[in-house]
Structure 1
């Protein structure tokens, strides 16, 4: 019985408190807050909220105020408030506005002041824009609500509407990540190489003996010594053949010039055998005869009177038909005398070709050799050294660029160098290398590289054409470049669309 009495008293007391609270509330019905937009767009932050009233009616001397607030860990910003006012409160507000207008007073303006008397069933749309600042990136949107009456705040509450601002996705040009593949060069079983040194030796007229101190001979002979000494000092090199070619200038009879060219070649051999311990059977003498080929090359590098006529005679008149005689008679011998003085001395040349083999190297030896004598490495060895480094690393790229410097006309070297350049976005060098490729245009690696080059240059049609060819030829990685192409095209369209909408 006692417990029943206690329960009845508790329920009665709660009802009394509820009625008292209801009597203190400034309004009847409900006001719901609905977040619509809290988003950064360009340089501004957009705040959109709906205040939805359902059977709301504010008492005459009461008001309900809502203040949106931006709150972050470093800053706070109050936005203009929304106020629903009862009859007397609304009239008092209008009087305050009138007085402020007459006095030109600086009155802080709310977003909206609404009549709260009379039952309301509608939506007030709050739409506000402020300049975006970096601290707002982690801000939340709160609403501070105050229920006021008789000049005092009866009740205050804080409500989080949304806890994160939606940041605009800033559109920047999509950066293509190229996917490259490389051609492995054919392995050389024997690395056979050849160097050629041209010596413009000075001989006394009609003499074939080499005088080491005569005129410019010290400089010219030093060129041969330097080349041969360099080879002999390298333990990985074995000289296989020394070929000496002697040439004479065209003046004089063919028989005399043949004798001079032979004699000069033999003289150079005697000179070298006296100074080096190569077996005599490594020396091979070639008699070049009259150096007409050298004359044509020299004429193409100079300007002289009647040059075209001289070249025409050389082209269309054989030596047996009197080529030299025609040159001597041309324009009274003027061009011939010029040749005799300025060109012919440089045609009395001896050429020394040294043919040699280089042994093959292990990976560790090749890595060491590339720092000392990279010219001793084959293309395949250079490829394996590059492949030992992470793709795209500085060492990886540098090895392929070294390879193309050593083998500038090799198409595989140029394809690989172009691919390495594309990894670091060097389209100018890549294009220069790819232009040297003539016979290997059907290589899948070539088409992949050309496709990537076109993609980086913005030529999407050519990029797709070559990349699809690479896929057909078996380069699976070209599929990744086609995905990059799709991303780049979509990004370009979106950027253009944004620009058009501004």
Structure 2
């Protein structure tokens, strides 16, 4: 479990005159975790300083008795500037000051400062102090202008869950091939009718995993089906013989070791026939389905449909029965595990289905929470594992992080009732300003033993929401 703090941003794009000679625009105060970044554009084009004077511009964060002076900008007249330089003294506010001789002063300054965040900063105001100095560091005048205010919306910290890594990653490819055989034969002719394309389906499925060095094929399963016309005993022979022929064909191509290829058969595909009839508009559809579902032996059942509903039988024989002669296949394989994050990130872009949830989680830790890359990892993970509760929980947190509450709600509907999932529902309720529901969820998560739920409850009550 990992707790991630929410980013907070206050922005004012307006250009405002703050103190004499200084205007400010594009003010942005952003908190991310344990730090707050302050950015703004200063226009100093109207600032003039006499040659024996100095002007010190210092932003201050202030909240009642708490305050913090940020990095100062000093603009010095010619004599004052060289006084400090020649005497080896630090500038007015110390060595961290950004200093300019008035003749070299830029018209604009992109001001940036990053400082550790403290709780008192929530609700603080950002002021700009202008202090004018003469010789001997004599303070001649002061001005204070307000730049802006930093007030946080209450966004609870989010709890991500690290999934368990799979001991062995297993997956499979499945499909159906409709291989044609001459009447009553079990020999495969690759060029016969559609066989080139149908055999190609199986080959391309095998090749797609066999040519990947990270994958090991563990089994190839084949199940052959025949259609119901003719005797059941004969159809059984055909299903067995044709499946065995396909096994030999694949074995000759790939030379699998041991018993990798296994076979099964279904003499007559009555389930496939029922599926087709049920979705058809045959005149006696209901009666035919009743016969299919009845207790008659296969040969008697097929004969009765043929006798009682000859028109429908003729239609099925021509339009449905060919598709009932098919082979289902499944290629099962294992995928090696990955621990190198750069490799995981590459595979996530190329073949994300090869990764397990823990590997996605490892990749996410490389990105700053809230960034597009961070969000993309969890969204890709939930696409690969759409029904996994942890994948949906982490995707919900990522969605909340970027303000997509609709997606967060959808993902949480597929999360479980773990303490972390209950907590996430409380976090979503806070985002939606449904504080009664938030308290209910947070209290439940707290009772389930999630420590962060208690912390968030205290923060919620402190804000008296």
TM-score, with structure 1 as normaliser: 0.58
Aligned partners of 2:356, 2:326: CA distance in 1, in Å?
31
Mapped partners of 1:338, 1:238: distance in 2: 45
Deviation at 1:199, TM superposition (A): 1.0
Q: CA deviation at 1:350?
A: 0.8
Deviations 1:248-275 (A, max 9, x none): 1222221122112112211211221221
Select 1:242's aligned residue among 204, 216, 220: 220
Task: State yes or no: 1:337 paired with 2:309.
Answer: no
Q: 2:155, 2:431 within 8 Å by CA — same for their partners in 1?
A: no
Q: What residue number does 2:451 align with? A: 476
Distance 1:329 1:429 in 2: 56
| Structure 1 residue 409: Cα displacement | 2.5
Superposition deviation, residue 455 in structure 1: 3.9
Q: Residue 179 of structure 2 corresponds to which residue in structure 1? A: 201
* Aligned mates of 1:309, 1:456 — CA distance in 2: 57
Which residue number in structure 2 is paired with residue 467 of structure 1? Answer: 442
Q: Does 1:192 align with 2:167?
A: no
The separation in 2 between residues aligned to 1:324 and 1:194, in whole angstroms, is 35
2:292 is equivalent to residue 314 of structure 1: yes
SS at match of 2:199: helix
Residues 269-320 of structure 1 show CA distances to partners (whole Å, capped at 9, x for unaligned) of 1221221121252111111332223334444555544434433333343545
Matches within 5 A, 1:134-213: 177-213=155-191
Measured against aligned partners, the alpha-carbon deviations of 1:423-467 in whole angstroms (never above 9, x if no partner) come to 222233333333334xx32x1122122333344445444333222
Q: Is the 8 A contact 1:262 1:287 kept in 2?
A: yes
| Alignment counterpart, residue 421 of structure 1, candidates 392, 399, 405 | 399
CA distance in 1: counterparts of 2:313 and 2:458, whole angstroms? 67
Shift, 1:194, TM fit:
1.7
Counterpart-to-counterpart distance in 2, 1:436 and 1:343: 39
**Structure-1 separation of matches of 2:427 and 2:370:** 15
2:373 is the counterpart of 1:369: no
407, 416, 422: which one pairs with 2:385?
407
Residue 167 (structure 1) shift: 12
Q: Within 1, Cα distance between the matches of 2:426 and 2:283?
A: 50
| C-alpha spacing 1:274/1:167, structure 2 compared with 1 (3 Å) | closer
> In structure 1, how many angstroms separate the alpha carbons of the residues matched to 2:163 and 2:337?
15
Distance 1:235 1:290, change over 3 A: same
Structure 1: 5+ residue runs without aligned partners?
A: 1-70, 75-137, 139-162, 491-502
Decide whether the 8 Å contact of 1:294 with 1:347 is kept in 2.
yes
Residue deviations 1:27-67, cap 9 Å, x none?
xxxxxxxxxxxxxxxxxxxxxxxxxxxxxxxxxxxxxxxxx
User: Which SS does the other structure have where 1:341 is aligned?
Assistant: helix
Residue 295 (structure 1) aligned with residue 273 (structure 2): yes
Deviations 1:49-98 (A, max 9, x none): xxxxxxxxxxxxxxxxxxxxxx9859xxxxxxxxxxxxxxxxxxxxxxxx
Shift, 1:394, TM fit: 2.1
Counterpart-to-counterpart distance in 2, 1:222 and 1:303: 33
Asked if the contact 2:278–2:289 (Cα under 8 Å) also holds between the matched residues in 1, the reply is: no
Q: Is the 8 A contact 1:179 1:478 kept in 2?
A: no
Relative to the length of structure 2, the TM-score reads 0.62
Tell me if structure 1 keeps the 8 A contact 2:155–2:427: no
Relative distance call for 1:419 and 1:169 in structure 2 (3 A) is: closer
- Bigger drift between 457-466 and 224-233 goes to 457-466
Q: 1:225 to 1:166 in 2, by over 3 A?
A: closer
| Shift of residue 234, structure 1, vs aligned partner | 0.9
For residue 346 of structure 1, what is the aligned residue in structure 2? 323
Counterpart in 1 of 2:232?
Answer: 254
2: CA distance between counterparts of 1:211 and 1:170?
Answer: 77
Match of 1:359 among 315, 336, 339: 336
**Matched residue, 2:210:** 232
Task: Select the structure of larger CA radius of gyration.
Answer: 1
- Normalized per residue, which structure has more helix? 1
Do structure 1's residue 453 and structure 2's residue 453 form an aligned pair? no
CA deviations over 1:156-207 (Å, ceiling 9, x no partner): xxxxxxx999999999xx8553532223222222222222121122333333
Alignment CA distance shift 1:213-1:454 (3 Å): farther
| Structure 1 vs Structure 2 CA RMSD | 3.7
DSSP 3-state at the match of 1:181: strand
CA displacement 1:88-141 (0-9 Å, x = unmatched): xxxxxxxxxxxxxxxxxxxxxxxxxxxxxxxxxxxxxxxxxxxxxxxxxx9xxx
Q: Is the 8 A contact 1:246 1:287 kept in 2?
A: yes
Q: Which runs of 5+ in 2 are unaligned?
A: 1-17, 22-126, 128-142
Sort the Cα spacing of 1:194 and 1:170 in 2 relative to 1 into closer, same or farther, 3 A: closer
State the secondary structure of the residue aligned to 1:196: strand
1:349 CA drift (Å): 1.2
Q: CA deviation at 1:245?
A: 0.9
